[in-house]
Amino acid sequence: MEPNVLLSCVLSFLAVFILLGVLAFLIHLVTSAFPPPVEAMGDDAAVLAAIHTAAAVSFPDARVTHIEEIKK
């Protein structure tokens, strides 16, 4: 393999990593500048359904009556 081909592959690989790092930083800035509204962070129907299904499979005679999020 020629050194030019190897060098171009390494430089391309580094360029992609740098570009992805810059994009991740920009996404972080945008999401911290515009957080989602509080009401959008409520109970998710898919999460609740998964909790009920997991409890029903693990404990067939039990049922979920109260779900509480513990924040640290």
Do the domain assignments include residue 54?
Answer: yes
What are the C-alpha distances in Å from 62 to residues 21, 36, 58, 68?
Answer: 47, 35, 9, 17
Classify residue 12: in a domain, yes or no: yes
Mean pLDDT computed over 45-60: 89
Please report, for residues 1, 18, 55, the alpha-carbon distance to residue 52 in angstroms, rounded to integers and kept in the order given: 58, 43, 5
What pLDDT score does 70 carry? 80
> Residues 6 or more apart from 67 whose CB is under 8 A from it?
43, 48, 51
The first and second tokens of residue 39, run together, are 């009401």
In a domain, 18, yes or no: yes
Q: Domain for residue 72, yes or no? A: no
At residue 12, the pLDDT reads 96
Q: What is the pLDDT of residues 9-39, one digit of tens each?
A: 999 999 999 999 999 999 999 999 998 776 6
What pLDDT shows up at residue 9?
A: 93
Would 30 be classed as within a structural domain?
Answer: yes
Residue 42 lies in a domain: yes
